[in-house]
Amino acid sequence: MESNTPTGDDKPAPAPAPAPGHHGGHAPGSNQTSPPDDGPAAAVEKHSGQYGAGRARAGDGGEADDEKKGGDVDVTLDARPVNDNNDDNDGFHEPSVMRAVDGTANGDDDGSNPQNNNNPPPPPNGGYGWVCTACVATINAHTWGLNSSYGVFLAHYLATDSFPGATPLDYAFVGSLSISCALLCSPLATVCTREFGTKPTMLAGVVMETASLICASLATRIWHLFLTQGVLFGLGMGFLFTPSVGIVPQWFSTRRSLANGFSAAGSGMGGLLYSFAAGAMIRNLGIEWAFRILGVLAFVVNTTCTLLVRDRNKIIGSSQLAFDTSLFRRPEFLLLLAFGWFSMLGYVVLIFSLANYANEIGLGASEAALISAFFNLGQGVGRPFVGYFSDRTGRINMSALMTLLAGVFSLVIWVNAKVYGVLIFFAIICGAVAGTFWTTIGPVTAEVVGLKHVPSALSLVWLTIMLPCLFSEPIALQIVAGTGSYLGTQLFTGFMFVAAATCLMVLRGWKIGQVREVARLINEAPEHIDPVKVENNDEYSARSRKVGRKRMLADCYRRERV
Out of 28-37, 212-221, 224-233, 251-260, which region has the weakest mean confidence (pLDDT)?
A: 28-37
Asked if residue 510 has pLDDT above 90, the reply is yes
pLDDT of residue 74: 37
pLDDT of residue 428: 95
Which candidate, 519, 555, 477, 527, places its Cα nearest to that of 74?
519
Domain assignment present for residue 43? The answer is no
Higher pLDDT, 431 or 108: 431
Mean pLDDT of 296-317: 87
Q: How many domains does the chain have?
A: 1
Distance between CA atoms of residues 41 and 29, nearest Å:
17
Share of the chain above pLDDT 90, in %: 31
Please count the helices (runs of H) and the strands (runs of E) in the chain.
26, 0
Instruction: Name the pTM for this structure.
Output: 0.70
- Cα 492 vs. chain centroid, distance in angstroms? 25
Q: Which range has the top average pLDDT, 92-106, 173-187, 348-362, 424-438?
A: 424-438
Element at 448 (helix H, strand E)? helix 436-449
pLDDT of residue 75: 35
Three-class secondary structure of residue 108 per DSSP: strand
Q: Side-chain half-sphere of 43: how many Cα atoms within 13 Å? A: 25
Higher pLDDT, 236 or 551: 236
Asked if residue 94 has pLDDT above 50, the reply is no
Higher pLDDT, 49 or 391: 391
pLDDT of residue 116: 45
pLDDT of residue 502: 97
Q: Side-chain half-sphere of 443: how many Cα atoms within 13 Å? A: 34
Dmax over CA atoms of the chain, in Å, equals 92
Asked if residue 207 has pLDDT above 50, the reply is yes
The pLDDT tens digits of the residues spanning 374-390 come to 998 998 889 889 888 88
Domain assignment present for residue 112? The answer is no
| 51, 98 contact by CB (below 8 A) | yes
How does DSSP assign 57-110, residue by residue? --STTHHHHHHHTTS-S-GGGS---SSSS-------PPP-HHHHHTT-BTTBTT
Asked if residue 236 has pLDDT above 90, the reply is yes
pLDDT of residue 493: 96
Domain assignment present for residue 36? The answer is no
How does the average pLDDT of the chain come out, rounded?
Answer: 77
Domain assignment present for residue 97? The answer is no
Mean pLDDT of 10-35: 42
Domain assignment present for residue 531? The answer is no
Three-class secondary structure of residue 105 per DSSP: strand
The pLDDT tens digits of the residues spanning 51-78 come to 344 333 333 433 334 333 333 333 333 3
Burial (CB count <10 Å: 0-12, 13-18, 19+), residue 175: buried
Higher pLDDT, 135 or 481: 135
Domain assignment present for residue 433? The answer is yes
Mean pLDDT of 386-400: 89
pLDDT of residue 8: 41
Domain assignment present for residue 115? The answer is no
Distance between CA atoms of residues 68 and 365, nearest Å:
67
Mean pLDDT of 332-337: 96
Mean pLDDT of 286-313: 92
pLDDT of residue 316: 66
Element at 52 (helix H, strand E)? none
Domain assignment present for residue 33? The answer is no
Q: Whole-angstrom distance between the N-terminal and C-terminal Cα of the chain? A: 33
pLDDT of residue 81: 36
Higher pLDDT, 430 or 83: 430
pLDDT of residue 110: 36
| 92, 44 contact by CB (below 8 A) | yes
pLDDT of residue 320: 58
Higher pLDDT, 233 or 310: 233
Out of 131-140, 141-150, 235-244, 252-261, which region has the weakest mean confidence (pLDDT)?
A: 252-261
pLDDT of residue 347: 94
The pLDDT tens digits of the residues spanning 416-475 come to 999 999 999 999 999 999 989 988 888 899 889 887 788 788 888 988 998 898 888 888
| 234, 182 contact by CB (below 8 A) | yes
pLDDT of residue 122: 65
Residue 367: which domain range?
A: 128-509
CATH number at residue 498: 1.20.1250.20
